[in-house]
Amino acid sequence: MHWLQHETGGLLLLCAAAIAVLLFLIIKVRLEPFIALLVSGLLLALAAGLSVNQIVGTALSSKTSLLETGFGAILGHIAPIIGLGTILGAILEASGGADVLTRRLLGVFGEKGAPLAMGLSGLIFGIPVFFDIGIFVLAPLVYITARRGGRSLIRYALPLLAGLSMTHAFLPPHPGPVAVAGLLGVSLGWLIVMGLACGIPAFLVAGVAWGAWIGERVRVEVPEDYVVGEESAERAERPEPPLSLVGAIIAVPLVLILLATFGTVWWKNSSALPVLTFLGTPAVALTIAVLLAMWLLGTRRGIPAAELASLASASLRPVGMILLVVGGGAFFGAVISATGVGKALAATMSDAGLPVIVLAYLISCGLRLAQGSATVALVATGGIIGPLVQSHHYSQAHLALIAMAVAAGSIIASHVNDGGFWIVSRYFNMSVKDTLKTWTVLETILSVVGFAMAGLLSTVI
C-alpha cells in the first residue's frame, strides 16, 4: 500500500509538472498551443518511462504509436464535423441570413425587447458560426439598435455576446464541445440535449438578467466611426432568404442528430432505425445541411458555384490550427492514459470523495484562467478527464453532463490573456475597466450557472 501511494503521488506530480510546462510554453514562450501540447505530451511520456516504440513507433513495428492513436482517433471523429459546420456558417452569413434573423426578431420584440432579440440572434446564429465571426457579422446590427434606442451599447451587446459564447462552449458543431465529446465518448445527440439544458439557463441569467442590470450602470456610446457593413452590388440585388428557410437549415443537422440518438429508445425495433442512424450521423447530417444551404441559399439565389467554392475554401483556412490544437490535446490525453495518471487521479478522487464532474470543472477553470483559450482548456481537460471516465460505467447522459462541466469551466473569467476579451473591447467601444466589469463578469456567470445546472442534473440522472 505504501508503494502504491508513492507511485500515485509520483504520477500526479508528473501530471502537474506536464501541465506547468504546457502553461509556461503557451504563456511565457508564446508557443503555438498545438506545439506546446505536443512537447508537453512527449516530455510527460519520456519522464514516465514509456518506451520510444510506444510513444512514436518504429519502422519495424506494426504496433500503432501513441502519437498516431492520439491524433488519428480524435481527428477522424471531429474533422468532418468542424469543417462542415464552418462551411454551413459561412454560407448562412454570406446569404444574409443573420440580417434577416436579427431584423425579424427586432420586429417581433419591439424596442423594449430589443436586448432579448439581440440575445436570441446570438443564440441561434451562434450555433453554426464561430464566436468571433458572429461578432463581426452582428456587431453593426447592435450599433444600429443601440443608436435607435438611445441606451448604453452594453444593454444590447451583452445578450448577443452571451448567446454567441454559450453556443461556442456548449453546443456542436463548435470545436471545443465536439472534441470533448470525442475524448469522453459521448454522442453529440446527448451533448445537444445537455448543452441546451445547461446553456439556456446560463444564457438567460448572464445575458438577459445581468445584461439588463449592468447595462443601466455602465454607459458606453456607439462608436462614432462604426461601420454598418457594405454589401456587394451582387448581394444587394439578391432577394433576402426567408427566415423560415434560415431557421430550417440551422435546425436540420440538430434534428437529425437527435433523432438518431433517441431513435434507439423510441424506435429500436423499427425498420426506420438504420435510416435514422445513417442520416443522424453528425458528418452525414451536416453534409445534408451544407448541400441544402448551397442549393437553397446559394444557387437558387443567384450565387455562382465558383463563388460558393471560394467561400467554402476561405472559411476553412482558420480551421487547420484548431484541428491541430485538438489533435495535440488528444495526444496529451493519450499519454496521460498510458502513463497511468488517469488511474492515479481516480484513486486520489476516491480517497478525497471528489466527484469527477467537480474535478472536471476545476481543472478546466484553472487552465482557462492561466492561458486564456477556451478551446485549449476544453481539449486539455478532456484529455485529463477522459481516462477517468473510462473506469466508470457512466450513462451517456451523465457523460454529457461531465462534458458540460468542462465546457462551463473553459469560459470562466475571460480577461486580458484571452483574445476574445480584446475583440469584445474593440468592437463594443469599451475600456479595459468596462470590459472587465461587463464581459468578464458575464463569462463568469455563464460558467457558474452552466456548471450549477450540470451538477444539479447529475444528481437526478
Q: What is the pLDDT of residue 75?
A: 80
Q: What is the pLDDT of residue 399?
A: 96
342: nearest Cα among 299, 295, 385: 385
Q: What is the pLDDT of residue 404?
A: 97
Q: What is the pLDDT of residues 191-201, one digit of tens each?
A: 999 999 999 99
What average pLDDT does the segment 21-26 reach? 86
Q: Which residue did the predictor score with more confidence, 206 or 80?
A: 206
pTM above the 0.85 mark? no
* Residue 299 forms part of a structural domain: yes
The 10 Å Cβ neighbour count of residue 307 is 13
Mean pLDDT (the chain) is 85
Question: Structural domain tally of the chain?
Answer: 1
The answer on pLDDT for 375 being more than 70 is: yes
- pLDDT band at residue 446, thresholds of 50, 70 and 90? very high
With beta carbons less than 8 A apart as the criterion, state whether 81 and 178 touch.
Answer: yes
Q: What is the pLDDT of residue 295?
A: 92
CA distance 198 to 454: 6
Q: What is the pLDDT of residue 342?
A: 64
Q: Which residue did the predictor score with more confidence, 28 or 169?
A: 169
The domain of 152 spans: 74-174+234-316
The answer on pLDDT for 377 being more than 80 is: yes
DSSP 162-212: HHHHHHHHHSTTSHHHHHHHHHHT--HHHHHHHHHHHHHHHHIIIIIIIHH
User: Residue holding cell 520510444?
Assistant: 52
Q: What is the pLDDT of residue 320?
A: 82
* Residue 5 forms part of a structural domain: no
The answer on pLDDT for 63 being more than 90 is: no
What average pLDDT does the segment 359-370 reach? 89
| Least confident interval from 59-68, 157-166, 255-264, 376-385 | 59-68
Q: What is the pLDDT of residues 204-253, one digit of tens each?
A: 999 999 999 999 999 998 877 554 444 444 555 667 788 889 889 989 99
Percentage of the chain modeled with pLDDT above 90: 34
Q: What is the pLDDT of residue 234?
A: 54
* Residue 257 forms part of a structural domain: yes
* Residue 53 forms part of a structural domain: no
CA distance 409 to 388: 18
31: buried, middle or exposed (CB in 10 Å: 19+, 13-18, 0-12)?
A: middle
The answer on pLDDT for 190 being more than 50 is: yes
The answer on pLDDT for 343 being more than 80 is: no
* Residue 158 forms part of a structural domain: yes
Q: What is the pLDDT of residue 90?
A: 86
The answer on pLDDT for 389 being more than 60 is: yes
* Residue 276 forms part of a structural domain: yes
Q: What is the pLDDT of residues 304-319, one digit of tens each?
A: 888 899 988 888 887 8
The answer on pLDDT for 26 being more than 90 is: no
CA distance 39 to 331: 10
* Residue 103 forms part of a structural domain: yes
With beta carbons less than 8 A apart as the criterion, state whether 171 and 191 touch.
Answer: yes
Q: What is the pLDDT of residue 265?
A: 66
The 10 Å Cβ neighbour count of residue 337 is 20
With beta carbons less than 8 A apart as the criterion, state whether 102 and 121 touch.
Answer: yes
Q: What is the pLDDT of residue 346?
A: 62
Which stretches of 95-152 are DSSP H helices?
97-109, 114-125, 131-149
Q: What is the pLDDT of residue 89?
A: 84
Q: What is the pLDDT of residue 62?
A: 54
* Residue 425 forms part of a structural domain: no
Which cell is 206 given?
448572464
What average pLDDT does the segment 278-304 reach? 91
Q: What is the pLDDT of residue 165?
A: 96
How many CA within 13 A on the CB side of residue 315?
A: 23
User: Residue holding cell 468596462?
Assistant: 434
